[in-house]
Amino acid sequence: MAAYGLYNHIRANRVRSIFLIVGLFFLVYLLSFAGALFAAVMTEGDAPLDYLFGVARGYFIGAIPFVTVGTLIWLWIAWQFHQRMIDAVVNGHDVTRQEEPRLYNLLENLCISRGIPTPKLKIVEDSALNAFATGMNEKQYAISVTRGLMDRLDDKELEAVLGHELTHIRNGDVRMMVIAVVIAGVISFVGELIYRGIFRSGVRGGGWSGGRSSGSRGKGGGGAAIAILIALAIVAIAWLLSIVIRFSLSRTREYLADAGAVELTKNPDAMIMALRKIENRGEIAGATAFVMEMCVDNPHSGFVDIFSTHPSIERRVEALVRTAGGRDPGPIAVPAYEDEPLGEIGPEEPEELEEVEEVRPAPAPEYEQPLPRGPWDYPRGNPFDPWQWGPWGPRR
């Protein structure tokens, strides 16, 4: 399953990016109408519901130019400065070849092999094991690697992770994820403003305090409470739609990025081993949920895996074993100490040596002074030496 260069997937991501931007404006306009409805209640008081809707419609039409300009400014700021914002959150910084020659050479070799520009390299000073890619175009693309990942992975495993992030860049996943993060940020910000405005103003005594009297608006009234409930419902719907947009981003992008890394490195075992080492060790201190969604692994990836932004490590490893023929070593134990190699628990204790009693050599037996030896190396005077006896008695 070759993921790198899947033009259908790349084209689909470009179409998704366009729809995401269109969806952003739709949700902002939806929230703007909720704000206009709230403003109508504030200015007109407890008027009939249809009258409040008419006033809100006028406010909304008048606010459209300002809302559009404000959203475009927000997009421009996110386009230009999203990397700096992420670096400030996760404590990341640029590195050069002189500072990190090992990491830089691995990434450059992968880019040369495919003839693509080399993205910027960044280091996140954190002991977690994770990495992510950011950027909206070739001039902005960057790959951030945590210090813990560099320390715990060997060259082949680190190369596989870099190949994973390069595939995300090549397939257009990075641009799409950044846009999704911007959408979520805008909706959360505007929705919270409206929500706080409604509840800080408050409904007292079942009617809306303040505003004009509804007597001059004709018979009836009591539309303020319903209008406020409708405004709150619109805010909730917009927030839910932003969540749906985030989860609509196909989780197959992670499978494709894993496969793309294998195609780049020709080493499925390295990718599998890297995933096993990253498993349950990827939580970056200070990183928001939106940043974690762009990482190799998101430890907090949703409820019962249905709403998760990443498939589980187990499923990703199974896919690599099934399609690329890799070997799975199984889950790796979490070390108890940061400086301990992965796969071991607790510090390595020195082996206790058994106390061995000192064995002293036995004293040499005392022998009598050897007798002088003859020419055949036998001591003279030994009565049991046959060479000392001749046919006629002892030799002299």
Question: Looking at this protein, which amino acid is placed at residue 383?
Answer: P
Query: To the nearest 10°, the Cα dihedral for 133, 134, 136, 139?
Result: -80
Question: Is 133:261 a contact under the CB 8 Å cutoff?
Answer: no
Q: Give the count of beta carbons closer than 10 Å to the beta carbon of residue 108.
A: 14
Tell me the helix, strand and coil percentages in the chain, rounded to 5.
55, 5, 35
How is residue 386 annotated by DSSP? Answer: G
- Look at residue 101 and give its three-state secondary structure: helix
First-to-final CA distance of the chain: 102
Question: Is 195:235 a contact under the CB 8 Å cutoff?
Answer: yes
For residue 133, the cross-strand partners are: 143
Give the whole-angstrom CA distance, residue 381 versus residue 383: 6
Q: Single out the catalytic residue among 44, 157, 159, 165.
A: 165
Known catalytic membership, residue 165: yes
Give the whole-angstrom CA distance, residue 273 versus residue 156: 10
Pick the closest to residue 234 from 197, 186, 191, 184 (CA basis). 191
Main-chain phi, psi angles of 251, to 5 degrees: -75, -10
Q: Which two tokens stand for residue 32?
A: 């703007």
Give, in order, the Cα–Cα distances in Å from 376 to each of 136, 372, 384, 394: 101, 11, 15, 16
Give the whole-angstrom CA distance, residue 87 versus residue 140: 13
Phi-psi region of 348 (alpha: psi -120 to 50; beta: other; left: phi over 0): beta
Give the whole-angstrom CA distance, residue 200 versus residue 379: 122
Active-site residues, by number, are 165
